Amino acid sequence: MQVIDALSLDYSEWKKLIEEMCYPRFRADQICQWIYSHKVLDYNGMSNVPKDLRAKLNENILMTQPILIKTFNSGGTIKYLWQLLDGERVESVLLNHGGHKTACISTQVGCPLACAFCATGSMGFKRNLSVGEILGQFLLMEKMQDDKAINNIVFMGMGEPLLNEDNLFKAIRILNHEKMRNLGARHITISTSGIVPGIEDLADFEIPLRLSVSLHASNDELRSRLMPINKKYNLQRLVDALKFYKDRTGERITIEYILIANINDEPKYAYEMAALLNGLEPYINLIPYNPVKNNKKFKRSSDGAIKKFCAALSELKIEFEVRRERGSDIAAACGQLAADY
Ligand code: SAH
Ligand code: SF4
């Protein structure tokens, strides 16, 4: 018999299973409420569910979840190291700022895209995470927040979300569903390195979430050196896909741009980027490069260089912000997740 994983089930699948077990459909609502509102991930704790149904659930629908191995704290930032059923490990990060909590969630063990500046990319690719493994990170983190909800979720942890599209989209539908976690679309962000077919699919996705795109270079020669995926989907194809997405959804796109000393941080690249993205009116997130273990090739841009780059963007009337560093001392900042403990 196929093993059924509770956290991978959506609302209609829960209802169908409960009906097949000959119980009324409202029992599915109760179970979903226990899991997604109360974060009770154990059938025995679902006190208004009949005992015989709980016994059947225990037998047939496994409530597997990531095991917490370790946490790392730095100010408001907490990094969680999880172990999955097959022994693989992933990390998630909780950011506390301005009274809001944001969970940064992983979608793959490792990443196949091998960006030159990224710790996850240097560990290679092991496998995609299941729907339940994606949701499990979020639910367990939320459970640990003294009943204070996590307000936002960003798919910016380990891996490329749009290379695990089916599981990612299903996890998002579950998070957003009113009978499940009921997390608003505006509170969900996907970050992608520029997977063109995935961006096109997102343009037609029924949940209007937020899209961030990791650009990091404004010409193909440099971008292909930093991000090998650019050889498959070059800048022209990427920009075309982003225009399609914008036309279709009316949504503003965020562009992420790491500032690496003497690589991509001269003002001429700000001008090049403005020309490339002309007509897209994006919001630019500048991320000073975060050091990565065993990577001596890159350095963070100097404060002076960052200032000059910002001045060029201001002159070009492009909206931007410089993302403040959080958690780099515990290797929890962008691009530092490697689960190598
Ligand atoms: N694979 C997706 C999402 C995970 S990476 C993507 O690439 O968008 C999350 C963000 O961290 C991306 O913008 C990525 O480019 C950035 N990043 C990777 N390594 C970094 C580093 N060393 N310093 C700063 N940002 C980094
Ligand atoms: Fe993968 Fe994103 Fe890291 Fe590139 S930056 S290797 S796409 S996780």
Count of H-run helices and E-run strands, the chain: 11, 14
Beta strand residue intervals within the chain, DSSP E: 4-5, 61-62, 67-74, 77-83, 89-97, 100-104, 108-110, 125-128, 152-155, 188-192, 210-214, 254-259, 283-288, 320-322
- Asked whether residue 38 falls in the same domain as residue 139, the answer is no
Q: Per the domain annotation, does 116 fall within a domain?
A: yes
Domain count, the chain: 2
- Asked whether residue 162 falls in the same domain as residue 105, the answer is yes
CB distance 6 to ligand 1 below 6 Å: no
pTM value surpassing 0.75: yes
Burial 19-28 (b: 16+ CB within 10 A, else e): eeeebeeebb
Please report, in tens digits, the pLDDT of each residue of the chain (341 residues total). Answer: 567 999 999 999 999 999 999 999 999 999 999 999 999 999 999 999 999 999 999 999 999 999 999 999 998 899 999 999 999 999 999 999 888 999 999 999 999 999 999 999 999 999 999 999 999 999 999 999 976 799 999 999 999 999 999 999 999 999 999 999 999 999 999 999 999 999 999 999 999 999 999 999 999 999 999 999 999 999 999 999 999 999 999 999 999 999 999 999 999 999 999 999 999 999 999 999 999 888 889 999 999 999 999 999 999 999 999 987 778 888 888 888 888 77
- How far is 284 from 309, CA to CA, in rounded Å? 12
* Number of residues assigned to the chain: 341
Closest residue by Cα to atom 6, ligand 2, is 121
CB distance 193 to ligand 1 below 6 Å: yes
- Asked whether residue 235 falls in the same domain as residue 324, the answer is yes
Closest residue by Cα to atom 26, ligand 1, is 335
CA of 327 to the centre of ligand 2 (A): 18
- How far is 18 from 88, CA to CA, in rounded Å? 32
Q: Which ligand is nearest to the CA of 214?
A: 1
- Asked whether residue 230 falls in the same domain as residue 136, the answer is yes
- How far is 59 from 54, CA to CA, in rounded Å? 9
Asked if residues 192 and 214 have their Cβ atoms less than 8 Å apart, the reply is yes
CB distance 289 to ligand 1 below 6 Å: yes
- Asked whether residue 40 falls in the same domain as residue 136, the answer is no
Residue among 133, 140, 134 nearest 42 (CA): 140
- How far is 341 from 338, CA to CA, in rounded Å? 9
Domain that holds residue 297: 67-330
CA of 308 to the centre of ligand 1 (A): 22
- How far is 198 from 208, CA to CA, in rounded Å? 14
Q: Per the domain annotation, does 339 fall within a domain?
A: no
CB distance 118 to ligand 1 below 6 Å: yes
